[in-house]
């Protein structure tokens, strides 16, 4: 027998269940419920609790979800939860965040903790993050997602496909790959449709698009939003003055 939608617990009931179960001391049951909840729901639950119970619930959140939950919390509650954490703990919590979310999080930290967290990151990740942090938040550079897939113009589609299979996943909102020359300068894009429908022996440079709109790194966020809306874009390359 299946439950009708009217009989399923809503978010409020779920939050009440977790709170009541914790009161009863059934921590394993509470952990199981939290594991099935979306990070935004866990954030709502945390914000509805008094500080002492909030800390208890936070300790039950799975490590894989901690970073996403922090990003969903309001500033005051987030600051309260991380107030006793050091940079090493924060690195572990945030290591699964997308780069743009991580940049937002780092910018919200006190300056000293901000610097300490950066020093605990590996060199490549720190350079990428510092690149985003160097631009104003309301600019294309501040908004851009560095977790993009780039390919060389002089390789075959077969090479690209093998690379994607080894990689195993693709960043969200990927509808095209960015094509660069051997010096890292932007040349164009390779739409996934072209990648999948052309002969694997085809050279990327022979079928890449060179007429896609390109966004300048210092372009204002309102202009970027308007361009995406007007051109119905899913993604676009962001370049600096050097290309």
Domain harbouring 218, CATH code: 3.10.580.10
| CATH number for 18 | 1.25.60.10
Residue 94 lies in a domain: yes
Structure tokens, 80:
């309260």
| 88 and 49 in a common domain | yes
Q: CB-based burial of residue 193 (10 Å sphere; 0-12 exposed, 13-18 middle, 19+ buried)?
A: exposed
146 pLDDT band, cuts 50/70/90, is: low
Distance CA 30, CA 47 (A): 17
112 pLDDT band, cuts 50/70/90, is: confident
138 pLDDT band, cuts 50/70/90, is: low
Which of 102, 136, 170 is the last residue before a domain boundary? 136
| 107 and 67 in a common domain | yes
| 164 and 123 in a common domain | no
| 78 and 173 in a common domain | no
Percent over 90 (pLDDT), the chain: 20
For residues 165 and 210, the answer to whether their CB atoms sit within 8 Å is no
Of 4-13, 86-95, 138-147, which one has max mean pLDDT? 86-95
For residues 132 and 142, the answer to whether their CB atoms sit within 8 Å is yes
| 130 and 14 in a common domain | yes
| 132 and 213 in a common domain | no
| 122 and 30 in a common domain | yes
DSSP-assigned beta bridge partners for residue 176: 191
Residue 221 lies in a domain: yes
Which of 79, 108, 136 is the last residue before a domain boundary? 136
The pLDDT tens digits of the residues spanning 183-197 come to: 888 899 999 999 999
Distance CA 132, CA 106 (A): 11
Residue 142 lies in a domain: no
| 62 and 93 in a common domain | yes
Residue 196 lies in a domain: yes
Question: Which residues, other chains included, contact 61 with Cβ-Cβ below 8 Å and sequence gap of 6+?
Answer: 34, 42, 69
For residues 54 and 80, the answer to whether their CB atoms sit within 8 Å is yes
Residue 64 lies in a domain: yes
Give me the domain span that covers residue 89. Answer: 9-136
User: Dihedral sign, CA of 9, 12, 13, 15?
Assistant: positive
Question: Which residues, other chains included, contact 35 with Cβ-Cβ below 8 Å and sequence gap of 6+?
Answer: 62, 65
| 132 and 168 in a common domain | no
For residues 194 and 151, the answer to whether their CB atoms sit within 8 Å is no
Q: CB-based burial of residue 197 (10 Å sphere; 0-12 exposed, 13-18 middle, 19+ buried)?
A: exposed
Which of 107, 136, 165 is the last residue before a domain boundary? 136
| 111 and 65 in a common domain | yes
Closest to 191 measured CA to CA, from 166, 203, 216, 174: 174
Question: Is the confidence at residue 7, as pLDDT, over 50?
Answer: no
Residue 141 lies in a domain: no
Number of structural domains the chain divides into: 2
């Amino acid at each position: 027998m299946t439950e009708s939608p009217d009989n399923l617990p809503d978010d409020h009931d779920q939050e009440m269940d977790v709170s009541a179960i914790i009161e009863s001391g059934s921590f394993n049951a509470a952990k199981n419920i939290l594991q099935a909840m979306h990070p935004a729901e866990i954030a709502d639950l945390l914000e509805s609790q008094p500080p002492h119970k909030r800390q208890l619930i936070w300790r039950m959140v799975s490590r894989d979800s901690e970073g996403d939950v922090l990003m969903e919390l309001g500033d005051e509650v987030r600051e309260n939860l991380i107030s006793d954490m050091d940079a090493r703990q924060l690195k572990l919590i945030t290591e699964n965040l997308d780069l743009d979310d991580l940049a937002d999080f780092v910018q919200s930290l006190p300056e000293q903790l901000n610097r300490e967290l950066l020093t605990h990151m590996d060199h490549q990740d720190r350079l990428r993050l510092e690149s985003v942090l160097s631009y104003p938040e309301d600019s294309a550079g501040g908004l851009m997602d560095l977790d993009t897939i780039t390919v060389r113009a002089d390789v075959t589609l077969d090479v690209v496909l093998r690379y994607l299979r080894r990689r195993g996943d693709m960043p969200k909102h990927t509808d095209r790959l960015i094509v660069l020359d051997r010096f890292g300068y932007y040349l164009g894009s390779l739409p996934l449709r072209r990648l999948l429908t052309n002969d694997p022996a085809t050279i990327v440079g022979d079928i890449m698009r060179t007429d896609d709109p390109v966004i300048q790194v210092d372009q204002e966020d309102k202009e970027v939003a308007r361009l995406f809306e007007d051109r119905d874009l899913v993604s676009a390359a962001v370049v600096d003055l050097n290309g």
